[in-house]
Amino acid sequence: MKIIELLVKALLGSDFDHGYPHIERVLKWAERIVSTENLPVDRELLKTIVLLHDVGRIIGEPHAYYSGLVAEELLKEFSLDPAVIRRVVNAIQYHSFSYSRNHRIEPGSLEALVLSDADKLDALGIVGFIRVFIYSCRNGRSFEDTLKHFDEKIFKLSGEMKFRYSRLKASELVEKTMRLLNDLLAEFRGLCEGQGFLNNHKGC
């Protein structure tokens, strides 16, 4: 586990949006879900899954696919049971909002459901709001497309939660995200009059 932690830290770096700080936050969300719901998960397996779920981002998209490949090859080096490796890869592939739907990936374990919820919770609230804009700036996504991202993905995440605790927290965090976005839009409308995409976006 220590080797995996050091490797993931080195590969993902310290970026707030998808670096190791994101991994640490997802781990904390996962622990809260498991404890609150009293879930009989394999905690070491869950930690392994969380640590490796985004490691493929160093290669590119679809990151869930590449993360699964990296995880599979790494865990083979540790001579893990092939059945365990398959559970890790399945959970990693399933966690992605878009990849799992495009490729019809179904969750193969309780740990997969926990990762899915924990990862999505970190995309909401103030933390999630900041992450969206950091990612947009880094990847050249326009302000208009960033606003669309909230409508097309972020505000749909609460409906994807699998556990009661996750749904309750997601509901709270979505409200925070909506308030932040509406405040941002209100401020920008006063500064950017005439820019259609701002004037036409009614907020939430």
Residues 104 and 3 in one domain: yes
Query: Do 102 and 130 fall within a single domain?
Result: no
Residue type, 172: E
Residue environment code for 101-132, b if the CB has 16+ CB neighbours within 10 A, otherwise e: eeeebebbbbbbbbbbbbbbbbbbbebbbebb
User: What pLDDT is recorded for position 192?
Assistant: 62
pLDDT digits (tens, 9 = 90+) for 104-143: 999 999 999 999 999 999 999 999 999 999 999 988 999 8
Both tokens assigned to 85:
């490796």
Residues 146 and 97 in one domain: no
pLDDT for the residue 189: 80
Residue-wise pLDDT for 171-185, tens only, equals 999 999 999 999 998
Do residue 27 and residue 83 come from a single domain?
yes
Mean pLDDT (the chain, rounded): 91
Last residue of a domain, one of 112, 146, 173: 112
Residue 137: give its domain's CATH number: 1.20.58.1910
- Do 78 and 127 fall into the same domain? no
Same domain membership, residue 141 and residue 72: no
Alpha-carbon torsion, ordered 113, 118, 122, 125, to 10 deg = 90
Domain range enclosing 21: 1-112
Q: DSSP character for 62?
A: S
Which of 87, 112, 137 is the last residue in one of the domains? 112
Asked whether residue 3 is assigned to any structural domain, the reply reads yes
pLDDT at 101: 85
Check if the beta carbon of residue 133 is closer than 8 Å to that of residue 146.
Answer: yes
In a domain, 117, yes or no: no
Residue 68 has pLDDT above 80, yes or no: yes
Q: 15-51 pLDDT, tens per residue?
A: 999 999 999 999 999 999 999 999 999 999 999 999 9
Q: Are residues 31 and 104 in the same domain?
A: yes
Show contacts of 28-36: CB within 8 Å, 24+ apart.
29/117, 29/118, 29/119, 29/121, 29/122, 30/114, 30/115, 30/118, 32/165, 33/114, 33/117, 33/118, 33/163, 33/165, 33/166, 34/114, 36/165
Per DSSP, 158 falls in state G
Is residue 118 domain-resident? no
DSSP state of 55: G
Burial class (CB in 10 A: 0-12, 13-18, 19+), 153: middle
Per-residue confidence (pLDDT) for residue 193, from 0 to 100: 58
Decide if pLDDT at 170 tops 90: yes
pTM of model > 0.85: yes
Name the domain count of the chain: 2
- pLDDT value for 204: 38
User: What pLDDT does residue 198 have?
Assistant: 47
pLDDT confidence tier of residue 187, bands split at 50, 70 and 90:
confident
pLDDT at position 188 is 81
Overall average pLDDT of the 151-165 stretch: 93
